[in-house]
Amino acid sequence: MKRLAMELGGNAVFIIFESASVSLAVQGLMASKFRNTGQTCVTANRILVQRKLFDQVVEALAAAMDRELKVGPGSDPTNTQGPLINQRQLLKVDSLVRDALGKGAKAIRGGRKHPTGDLFYEPTLLVDVTTDMQVFREEIFGPVAALVPFDTEEEALRVSNDCDRGLAGYFYTSDLRQAWRVGRSLQVGLLGINDPLISTCEAPFGGVKMSGFGKEGSKHGLDEFTNIKLLSFGSLD
């Protein structure tokens, strides 16, 4: 029988608690959400913001998107947001946004295909999103940030773990006790605590639930393809 590791889909949660620095959290969210135009398996997807900070985060995120995101071909080094991988994916992203808008969400930024070309989509910021909308339940894999408010840590954990995938997660806090509590409780294989860039070749990479099993990277990734052999010696006399 062959040894194998499986890395499947993700639907990463990104939580901003009320003790967090808004500027650092938004900086981290920009890096995690819009890297590679939102097309990585560890991209922030389900974005939860504690209600006390919600309006501040929306305002700061919209300003950062205006300031930092420029859509266009990658041949121009000033562009930061390129095309989606194919037409099928663009239609999926647009369908998720249309579904959310039709159910009451509001687009603060973007919300439609970009005029640059057939595979480009506007960087989008959605509010008035609910946890039962497709844009929250499904992996977007595109430049769409859908923000949902929450009131308590327990609520954030319940919503975060109510997902059949568990590859990556992120949260921002300045409370060390909360960092350990939430870090132990989130059902993910990779977790960034005040850190938006969590995967390196030196660290194990892999998820739980339907995000797969096994690890890539580090010695743990090598162990997945190694058979352990026991040599049990008796007396040599």
CATH number of the domain at 20, please: 3.40.309.10
Number of domains in the chain: 1
Instruction: Note the pLDDT of residue 226.
Output: 87
* Side-chain half-sphere CA neighbours of 117 within 13 A: 13
Is 230 domain-assigned? no
Range of the domain at 90: 9-223
Instruction: Note the pLDDT of residue 227.
Output: 87
Instruction: Note the pLDDT of residue 237.
Output: 83
Sequence-distant (6+) residues with CB within 8 A of 136 are: 46, 129, 130, 146, 148
Is 18 domain-assigned? yes
Instruction: Note the pLDDT of residue 224.
Output: 86
Residue by residue, DSSP assigns 101-154 as HHTT-EEEE--SB-TT-TT-B--EEEES--TTSHHHHS---SSEEEEEEESSHH
Instruction: Note the pLDDT of residue 199.
Output: 86
Is 233 domain-assigned? no
Active site residue 7: yes
Is 134 domain-assigned? yes
Is 144 domain-assigned? yes
Active site residue 201: no
**Positions in the chain whose pLDDT score sits under 50:** none
DSSP secondary structure letter of residue 81? B
Instruction: Note the pLDDT of residue 92.
Output: 97
Instruction: Note the pLDDT of residue 5.
Output: 84
Instruction: Note the pLDDT of residue 4.
Output: 80
Tokens 């974005």, residue located: 47
Is 236 domain-assigned? no
Q: Of residues 7, 18, 68, 155, which has the active-site annotation?
A: 7
34 vs 19: CA distance, rounded Å: 24
Order of all β-strands in the sheet with 144-150: 106-109, 124-127, 144-150, 44-50, 12-16, 168-172, 190-193
Instruction: Note the pLDDT of residue 142.
Output: 98
